[in-house]
Amino acid sequence: MLESYYAKPESADRLRALWLGPAIDRYAEWLVSRHVAKMTALGHFQILAQFNQFVVRRGVRTHEDLPGQIDAFVRYRLRAHRWARTARDRGTVLTHSRTVVEQLLRVLVPGFVGTVRKRPWPMQSTVPGFQAYLRDERGMRPDTIRGYEHHLRVFERFLESSRITDLVTLSPVLITRFLTESTAGLSWETRGGRAGVLRVLLRYLRRQGLVATDLSRAVPRGRKYKLASIPRAIPWSEVERVLASVDRRSLRGKRDYAILILLATYGLRSQEVAQLELSAIDWQRSQFHVLGRKAGNSTTYPLAASVGEAIIEYLRLRPECADRHVFISLTAPFRPIGHWAVSGRAGHYLRRAGITVRRPGSHTFRHSCVQRLVEADVPFKQIGDYVGHRSDNATQVYAKVAIHKLRALTLGDAEDVL
């Protein structure tokens, strides 16, 4: 498989003639299966050739002894890269060297796992079973659990800095200090989310007998008035300006344009766009299905001609891979993009078009879609069903931005409007 990356057969032969040559050839087959780009693969082969030279010079004779050489090799490469003077550059050399060698050893050495970089669930030793409780008993979605993980990690660091090892010593004063220090400068929504996570955790601690009293009552509840916020929508003319600003000559531009027009036309959430699969698009009936929405339902939408053309234009250049999600990464290994990437691309084009809006992202297009429907006098119940709102309250807040109705009130036609 080395010939897949080397134009000259003799270059592949030189690499294959090394002691680790057959293993590197198998590793090349693994890279091909993941559609790794040529320049990336050649850089990996260079590192592995250096690793081969390093272990042969140290007298290694069996593959089983190779894992014990990884740390020494990483230090050797760091000394060789004298240009890596900053902490960031040194970290890049260390991580890249270790990752490539460990990838080879996973192919070569049975049972080799290597470095596990995923951090363990926070407070796993002090509060066992909490993650399973959120998933199995409360039925939370993976994205919600990831949000819990973030807030719990902040709480874990606070306990470590306060030198608290036994949760029995928790007190209302300590909880108040944590919330005061950790939420300074955060938005109301983030403060409320952290307080909510803490309340769930404290109730679980009491249920499991890890604390003597229910401390969740010590977590203050902020007051938020119903329909107090204003949706961060932009006029439809500015939505069209953002769409027109996308350079659709490249694959990235075609993909991003298809994402943005889906967000703007149907008011989809970023998660719903990221999870959209090829099988969900019914080309014969000109419709597509959005499954597993936030409200737990599914929706079938008519496929607008402009949206369908944008998706087809992107799919014609979409990299070939086994994954069936519509939107994937543009560099190998190809994998589905996350909802954060969808929101990030939306925010990027809003800023580039010079649109000033609070927290620019995918929800800006969602709000704009709903506002457009409100201004078209579509009933709120139909709007809520269209965008997948769980309750009527989520839709009625848009009545505050129905400018055409407010204008009629100021002109003295209040009775007709109401």
- Please give the positions annotated as active site: 269, 294, 363, 366, 389, 398
Which amino acid is it at 50?
Q
Strand pairing partners for 75?
Answer: none
Scanning the structure block, which residue is given the tokens 């049975």?
110
Give the max Cα distance, the chain. Answer: 93
Scanning the structure block, which residue is given the tokens 């819990």?
148
CB 182 within 8 A of CB 207: no
Q: Which residues of 329-347 are buried (b: 16+ CB within 10 A; e: fewer)?
A: beebebebbbbebbbebbb
Is the peptide bond prior to 333 cis by the omega test (within 30 degrees of 0)?
A: yes
341 token code pair: 């990437």
Helix axes 21-33, 87-108, angle to 10 degrees: 100
Q: Supply the DSSP symbol for 277.
A: B
395 token code pair: 């839709």
Q: Return the H-helix or E-strand segment holding 203.
A: helix 188-207
Q: Rounded to whole angstroms, how far apart are CA atoms 85 and 158?
A: 32
Question: H-type helices in 114-187, by residue range?
Answer: 130-132, 142-161, 172-182
CB 390 within 8 A of CB 285: no
Q: Rounded to whole angstroms, how far apart are CA atoms 290 and 281?
A: 9
Is 285 in a helix, a strand, or coil? coil
